[in-house]
Amino acid sequence: MSPGAPTGRVELPGSGRVPDPGHTRVGDIDLQAEIEVSVYVRPRGSLAWVDAAAALPPGERRLVSRGEWAQEFGAHPADIHAVESFAAQSGLSVTGRDGPRRVVVVRGTVQAVAQAFGADMIGMYRDPGTGATYRGRSGPLTVPDALAGVVVGVFGLDNRPQARANVRRRAFDPSSYTPVGVAQAYAFPAGFTGAGETVGIVELAGGFQASDLTTYFGELGLASPAVTAVSVDGGENQPGEDTDSDAEVMLDIEVVGAVANGVSIAVYFAPNTDQGFIDAVSTAVHDTTRKPSVVSISWGRSEDSWTAQARTQMEQIMTEGAALGVTVTVAAGDNGSTDGVTDGQQHVDFPASAPHALACGGTTLDASGTTISSEVVWNDPGDGVTGGGVSRQFALPSYQSNVGVPDNADTGAPGRGVPDVAGDADPNTGYAIRVDGTDETIGGTSAVAPLWAGLIACLNQRLGSPVGFAQPRLYPLLGTDAFHDITSGNNGAYSAGPGWDACTGLGSPDGAALAGELADGSGTG
């Protein structure tokens, strides 16, 4: 038992919170307000086999269907029951349970929920960046001894904004690339549109208008893909309230739908909190109705701004996705090697730094048709710089063991290298996108995550099986025609060079060559 926990209780590992620097206390919390929290429990089975299985040829890989998942790897019913019993004893109601997702949702007053989980609620705070006010807490959470090791994460007491969209907007430039043009430059496999695949997109604000999509795809000479909004934790498709967030949503949908015009798209809207973000990714990965084979995430924040329990749960969910054959593409950030943190240190964006996320960095692309004249690291301090670097929180994964990931520039310690892959992100060589009835040119690594999501959907159709957890199949292709090696430029502390680098990873794709390599089994260990 931790010295800080009362007798009969244990601290929940990694649950400690502190006020964010520069956030101002603006009042007291209404302790009688009703809230819901998501209580995650341990998985029933180990996923230690996932990485090795992903490196095998498709016919030999183990993938678990969503139908099989609950019995072998979801929550044990006894663990769900234990949480429900504890909730009842604490005067809380259970409003949801999901065994495959390993989550129980409990509801009560702030005071009752805080008492149940030992939370020190310290007041209402204001985020100076967004102006949002939120409930703040300090210190760790605790659970009864009987739930030690059973409960692995509790989210929703502290509801501070957790992430930002990695998107860069500017006035419309008629010479902007369309997503179709970028796909052509990257030689996406001809004749494959992702037909039969569903791409999930996670959004933490904003929304889309169907009329904009009809106009946009019509102008490209394409059919509008089927787009479905899915509400998570009360999140909704709300276009018009936040144009920056609308730009993120429209960029994601329009890039995916243009480069993989045969896919269905499910957009999972959730509140911008760690609870909302984690629940949205979990809902997408385990969605038995829409069954996405790819999930695209363009939101994130420095990995050090997350609690350890939140990082652990997000990475666990992405590992679950790997077991199910779901690829999760994540933007690597638009603020260089510091990730916009002002402490003079280097930081990587999360969830891009999760080892089971396919982290997507940014380039500046000069191309005409299928010809790429030049491609360098995206670094324009006025319009953004690609994220990338070496994680302080995640160890060097086995798939990066032989590619020369440098030690962290500040600590000198090894770690997970970010990104894995890259694509056009510079708004000066950006994408023509329609937002709230207006055409804009948009860039950012937010464009690269859906670009790769669309490519993966096309590859899934081409291969007849899901790429799934991609890195064990992609890293053996370093130095082949499957990637355009980016060797010029830097993102601050890290520079590009031959081979993998902490600016653009393996490089940008040659989709046709990548499809060929994967089809003949070259991308296997």
Three-state secondary structure of 433-495: EEECCEEEEEECHHHHHHHHHHHHHHHHHHHCCCCCCCHHHHHHHCCCCCEECCCCCECCCCE
At 416, list the tokens: 């997970």
Q: Is 334 a known active-site residue?
A: no
Which residues are 228's β-sheet partners?
266
Would you call 122 helix, strand, or coil by DSSP?
Answer: strand
Q: Name the region of 308 (left: φ>0; alpha: ψ -120 to 50; beta: rest).
A: alpha
Inter-residue contact 376 to 486 (CB < 8 Å): yes
Q: Is 446 a known active-site residue?
A: yes
- Residue 443's alpha-carbon distances to 50, 228, 298, 424, in angstroms, are 34, 24, 12, 8
Phi, psi of 317 (to 5 degrees): -65, -40
Q: Is 244 a known active-site residue?
A: no
Inter-residue contact 313 to 13 (CB < 8 Å): no
Which listed residue (15, 38, 302, 446) is catalytic?
446
At 383, list the tokens: 């319009």
Nearest in space to 472 (alpha carbons), one of 511, 418, 420: 420
Which listed residue (11, 79, 246, 248) is catalytic?
248
Which listed residue (51, 252, 279, 334) is catalytic?
252
- Residue given tokens 């496999």 in the structure block: 189
DSSP notation for 298-345: -EEEEGGGS-HHHHHHHHHHHHHHHHHT-EEEEE--SBGGGTT--SSS
Give the whole-angstrom CA distance, residue 95 versus residue 88.
12
Would you call 518 helix, strand, or coil by DSSP?
Answer: helix
Instruction: Point out the residues that are catalytic.
Output: 248, 252, 446
